[in-house]
Amino acid sequence: MSITEYNGSSIVAMMGEGCVAIAADTRLGIQFQTIDTNFKKIFRMGPRLFIGLAGLATDVQTVYQRLTFRANLFKLREERELNFDVLLAMIRNILYERRFGPFFVDPIIAYFDEETGQPKIANTDLIGAECTAQDFAVGGTGSDELYGMCEALWKPGLKPDQLFEAVSQSLVNAFDRDALSGWGAEVYLIEKDKVTKSTLKTRMD
């Protein structure tokens, strides 16, 4: 088993019309043994800016701590909030600095730009090579299943309610087919005037 699959995870970000959503399962396991069902994998980095971290749980926590430190330093120096490009540059730098002994994480960023009214999503590999997307991005042990579900359910121009339904159904149906993730989910729906957090109760077997 790959070290990135040791704890299990499934994360997806999906774009809609004037909105963007990011969702993750809440299981923490040691291979097939479940340890916790409320492990946080999505973190708020700004008013409309979120990052999801899939992969090895200890590295998820370490990368988030380093990211928080750099984000706080940026806010003190620049006297402004982080945006999409700054956060993406930060996570790329953190990961590339450790390229010879990498952090085993799979980051996904979801952002709604209030100035342009455009949502943005991106993900990187474990050494910081970025990939921006116009539809959806997936990560974690359930990524193969998530690709199939997202391709089936995503379409251009999804309204907020439709986007929430699509991202929730994609995640839940994908991790039902992945023994290393699941046991509940968190969904963040990001719009221009609000951010809605939802908790999904799912199969726990």
Question: How long a stretch of residues is the chain?
Answer: 205
Quick one: CA dihedral 181, 121, 86, 99, positive or negative?
Answer: positive
H or E element at residue 173:
helix 160-175
Q: Does 179 reside within a domain? A: yes
Residue 162 CA to chain centroid, in angstroms? 19
Domain that holds residue 155: 3-200
Q: Does 92 reside within a domain? A: yes
Q: Does 135 reside within a domain? A: yes
Q: Does 151 reside within a domain? A: yes
Q: How far is CA 53 from CA 40, 61, 123, 197, 203, in A?
A: 9, 9, 10, 17, 22
Per DSSP, the residues of 2-26 read -GGGSS--EEEEEE-SSEEEEEEE-
What is the pTM (predicted TM-score) of this model? 0.90
Q: What is the CATH number of the domain that holds 168?
A: 3.60.20.10
Q: How many folded domains does the chain comprise? A: 1
Q: Does 153 reside within a domain? A: yes
Which amino acid is it at 96? Answer: Y
Q: Does 205 reside within a domain? A: no
Per-residue pLDDT of the chain (205 residues; tens, 9 = 90+): 678 878 888 899 999 988 999 999 988 888 888 887 888 999 999 889 999 999 899 999 999 999 999 999 999 999 888 899 999 999 999 999 999 999 999 999 999 988 888 899 999 988 989 898 888 999 888 888 888 889 999 888 899 999 999 999 998 888 878 778 878 889 999 998 889 998 888 777 6
